[in-house]
Chain A
Amino acid sequence: MSQLKPNSYKTGPDANGHFGLYGGRYVAETLMPLILDLERAYNEAKADPSFQAELDDFLEHYVGRPSPLYFAERLTEHFGGPKIYFKRDELNHTGAHKINNCMGQILLARRMGKTRIIAETGAGQHGVATATVAARFGLPCVVYMGEDDIKRQSPNVFRMRLLGAEVRPVSSGSRTLKDAMNEALRDWVSNVENTFYIIGTVAGPHPYPALVRDFQSVIGKEARAQMLAREGRLPDAAIACIGGGSNAMGLFYPFLDDPDVALYGVEAAGHGIETGQHAASLAGGRPGVLHGNRTYLLQDADGQIIEAHSISAGLDYPGIGPEHAWLHDMKRVNYVSATDQEALDAFQLCAKQEGIIPALEPAHALAYTGKLAKQLAKDKIILMNMCGRGDKDIFTVAERFGVKL
């Protein structure tokens, strides 16, 4: 596929929510007026300086932004190559980048007069972040979570309940994130009057992919300015893990038109791409339509969705945000992958070398950071998004090591 290089990679989506072939509004008619309303409300909020001011205030005093840019000196020495920096979004309130987006969406929900919040969650981080902002603003909150994920992320389930949210187990399909999203959409269709659906990643019908990207772009905006202040230049590479792709889109977006910054999105290769048991929709999927947008999907020859596999519940999704699908086709971002085992190794390495226990999701990004570091010279700089902390994963990791907690 030969394509002209655009003047800017930041112009998407078009008026109908398309990023090239991808994105769009593939939803049941009941939801169409609602997502058109949401789009209108979001455009108005974006144009209203008081909305951004309110969001900035909460991001600073409640979420704890800006998050630091940290020079990972010991890992840099360990790999013996380029300087490695972490954007430390794991230090946010609730322990991941997810709250950047939730804060933006709940302020939008309030602006629209919505009184009930729903969300889907995989790892539980988005569920916890949603439950947190719902508690902060006194709104009832229902979080859909696959039964399998409830088992492997039990600390987060308890956390959501402490925050006053109702966690509804989803027993249909593969009992993971994709099924939780189906169930949240079913809830939304059934409660159109009062409910705001806080989607946790850059997927879903337009305007969600753009809206979530915009709220997460604070990561890349800060990191870009911090890097310029620290090093007087931009990084040579920026790396982030990809479930639906929100932390990656948030990191990449402000760098998209900096041609000297190579961008790497790391998908979850599970047991290995060749085994078929993975969650790498770009590496192992093809374009299709699910959850309101067209994007790369893991699917069989008949267009039935295939269950994803990853040790990390947050990456265990058979799709990817539509803007990533487009950036992949345009070759602006390099999409690579890391296996369960590589992520586990990176998880331990980071804990021991840096005193930071990463979430299993960014452990995938770190695994690739290690690989890339071996190819780059010492005068280069890698920026990696440490998008979550690993407290939620200690049970999963302990089980892998045969340790009973």
Chain B
Amino acid sequence: MSRIARRFAELKKQNRAGFVAFITAGDPNLETSFEILKDLPAAGADVIELGMPFTDPMADGPAIQLSSLRALKAGHTMAKTLDLVRRFRTHDQTTPIVLMGYYNPIYSYGGQKFCKDASTAGIDGLIIVDLSPEEDPELRPHAKAAGLDIIRLATPTTDAKRLPAVLDGASGFLYYVSITGVTGSKDIDPISVAKALKPLKAATSLPVAVGFGIKSEADAKAVAQTADAAVVGSALVAEISRFVGKDGKLSPGAPEAVLSLVRRLAASAHGARN
């Protein structure tokens, strides 16, 4: 069983929703990002989404755009992202890590080599925002051979006609994008999310994680009633940016602040069904 499948099976047994934490690899710099990453599981993250920085993050709002640019400015590369995970795995062999980002850096690295290296580094799955099901056959066989899950996104525009295309070849879990908008932009509406999850759950046995609009403990709690996991990203990287001055200088305390926010959000998600 993969780390992802095992983790969702455990959560199901405990009848609680998981908490998925997104941070950008290398934000605000390599070492700080590692400090945050290594302590995410202890703070309550059941699954980690690690953003691969890209110059042109078309589906992201300002918070994640800025975090991507901070990482790139600090000299981050794809090799360093894989390195971060390799280091993380010397501390933690059970928490699933999925990489999230855009296709060009992967394509540039070479799809087959990337999947092999990512798997060797200890990565469990890939969310590639701009690699549609129509285009991912060029990567799918390499991911499969390396044991990486391809995690697909369903959205409010995914109607009954579209859903089979999204699910065909999906593995690991399904990511429901709860708003029509970029990351961190609109507020989540738990009632429409609950309604949207019904046909998804009926169509797939994969766990469904919900993200893109969850900002507060209340949001996390509401989503965790119906979803298998709640994802928070923009709020976490926005917390990092509070410690970065206009001149780009980092003041101390970012890891503690982010981890403390993760602790609160994770507790809300975990306790939602009690």
Partner-B contacts on A (CB < 8 A): 16, 24-34, 36, 172-173, 178-179, 182, 185-186, 189-192, 287-292, 294, 297, 299, 301-305
Q: Which of A28, A36, A191 contacts B130 (CB 8 A)?
A: A28
Confirm or deny: B141 has a beta carbon within 8 angstroms of a beta carbon on chain A: no
Q: How far is the CA of A294 from the CA of B103 in the complex (A)?
A: 10
Whether the Cβ atoms of B180 and A173 lie closer than 8 Å is: no
B112 contacts A by Cβ under 8 Å: no
Q: In angstroms, how far is the closest chain A Cβ from the Cβ of B66? A: 9
Once A297-B104, A303-B78 are accepted as A-B contacts, the answer to whether A190 and B58 lie under 8 Å apart by CB is no
A29 touches B132 (CB 8 A): yes
A190 and B186 within 8 A (CB): yes
Contact between A302 and B108 (Cβ–Cβ < 8 Å)? yes
> Cα distance A191–B156 when bound, in Å?
12
Q: Is B132 a contact of A32 with CB atoms below 8 Å? A: yes
* A302 CA / B152 CA spacing, docked (Å): 24
The answer to whether A190 touches B130 (Cβ under 8 A) is no
Q: Would A190 and B56 count as touching, CB distance under 8 A? A: no
Could you say which of B56, B78, B157 contacts A30, with CB atoms under 8 Å apart? B157
Report how many A-B pairs have Cβ atoms within 8 Å: 115
In the assembly, what is the distance between CA of A313 and CA of B131, in Å?
A: 29
- Extra contacts, 18 of them, besides A288-B107, A305-B55 (Cβ < 8 A), are A24-B135, A25-B135, A26-B130, A26-B132, A28-B153, A29-B152, A30-B180, A31-B157, A32-B162, A33-B162, A172-B65, A186-B59, A190-B180, A192-B180, A289-B107, A291-B58, A292-B130, A305-B104
Tell me if B72 counts as interface (CB < 8 A to partner A).
yes
Is B244's CB within 8 Å of the partner chain A?
no
- Selected from A28, A191, A302, the residue in CB contact (under 8 A) with B77 is A302
Q: Which residues of B contact A (CB under 8 A)?
A: 54-59, 61-62, 65, 72, 77-78, 102-109, 129-135, 152-159, 161-162, 165-166, 177, 180-182, 185-186
How far is it, in angstroms, between the C-alpha of A190 and the C-alpha of B135 when the chains are bound?
23
Q: Do B108 and A16 have beta carbons less than 8 Å apart?
A: no
Q: Chain B residues near A292 (CB, 8 Å)?
A: 130
A25 near B134 with CB under 8 A, answer yes
CB distance from A27 to the nearest CB of B (A): 6
Partner of A189, one of B54, B133, B181: B181
Tell me the bound Cα distance from A287 to B152 in angstroms.
25
Nearest-Cβ distance from residue A301 to partner chain B, whole angstroms: 8
For residue B132, which residues in chain A have a CB less than 8 angstroms away from its CB? 25-27, 29, 32
Q: Mostly helix, strand, loop or mixed at chain A's interface?
A: mixed
CA A173 to CA B55, docked complex, whole Å? 7
With A190-B181, A292-B130 as known contacts, state yes or no: A304 contacts B105, CB within 8 Å: yes
Contacts of A16 in B (CB 8 A): 134
Residues from chain B with a CB closer than 8 A to the CB of A290 are 56, 104
Chain A residues with Cβ below 8 Å from B61 are: 186
Q: Kindly state the separation between the CA atoms of A160 and B29 in the bound complex, as whole angstroms.
A: 41
CA distance A33 to B61 in the complex (A): 21
20 A-B residue pairs with Cβ-Cβ distance under 8 Å, sorted by A, are A16-B134, A24-B135, A25-B134, A29-B153, A30-B59, A32-B133, A33-B158, A34-B157, A179-B56, A186-B58, A189-B180, A190-B180, A192-B180, A288-B107, A290-B56, A294-B107, A297-B104, A302-B109, A303-B104, A304-B55
Which residues of the partner chain A approach B105 to less than 8 Å between Cβ atoms? 302-304
- B79: nearest chain-A partner, CB-CB: A302
Do A30 and B177 touch (CB < 8 A)? yes
- Given the complex of chains A and B, what is the CA–CA distance between A178 and B104 in angstroms? 15
Interchain CA distance A192-B159 in the complex, whole Å: 13
Chain A residues whose CB sits within 8 angstroms of the CB of B133 once the complex forms: 32
Chain B residue contacts of A27, Cβ below 8 A: 130, 132
Q: Are A30 and B54 in contact (CB-based, < 8 A)?
A: no
CA distance A28 to B156 in the complex (A): 12
Residue of A nearest to B57 (CB): A182
Query: Which B residues are CB-close (under 8 A) to A26?
Result: 103, 130-132, 135
Contacts of A34 in B (CB 8 A): 157
Nearest-Cβ distance from residue B61 to partner chain A, whole angstroms:
8
User: A173 and B56 in contact (CB under 8 A), knowing A302-B108, A303-B108, A304-B105?
Assistant: yes
Bound Cα distance from A182 to B55, whole angstroms: 10
| Closest-CB distance, B42 to chain A (whole angstroms) | 31
The complex places the Cα of A104 from the Cα of B161 at a distance, in Å, of 28
Q: Which residues of A contact B104 (CB under 8 A)?
A: 288-290, 297, 299, 303, 305
Contact present for B107 and A185 (CB under 8 Å):
no
A104 to B135 Cα, complex, angstroms: 28
* Bound-complex Cα distance A168 to B35 (A): 38
Q: Which chain A residue lies CB-closest to B72?
A: A304
Does the CB pair B182–A303 fall under 8 Å? Answer: no
Name the distance in Å between B231's Cβ and chain A's nearest Cβ: 15
Return the 9 tightest CB-CB contacts between A and B, nearest first. Answer: A303-B108, A303-B105, A190-B181, A30-B155, A29-B153, A28-B59, A305-B55, A303-B104, A26-B130
Q: Output the nearest chain A residue to B131 by Cβ-Cβ distance.
A: A26
**Closest B-chain residue to A16, C-beta based?**
B134
Separation in Å of the B168 CB from the closest CB of chain A? 13
A289 touches B130 (CB 8 A): yes
A29 lies within 8 A of B177 (CB): yes
Measured between beta carbons, the chain A residues less than 8 angstroms from B59 are: 28, 30, 185-186, 189
* Min CB–CB distance A128 → chain B (angstroms): 24
- A192–B177 Cα distance when bound, in Å, is 14
Least Cβ–Cβ distance between B87 and chain A, in angstroms: 19
Compute how far the CA of A192 lies from the CA of B182 in the bound complex, rounded to whole angstroms: 12
Chain A residue contacts of B57, Cβ below 8 A = 182
CA distance A24 to B54 in the complex (A): 20
Max chain B C-beta neighbours (<10 A), residue from A172, A189, A294: A189
The residue in chain A whose Cβ has the minimal distance to the Cβ of B157 is A33
Q: Are A288 and B108 in contact (CB under 8 A)?
A: yes
Q: What separation, in Å, do the CA atoms of A24 and B107 have in the docked complex?
A: 14
| Chain B residues with CB under 8 A of A186 | 58-59, 61, 182
Residues of A within 8 Å of B78, CB to CB, are 302-303
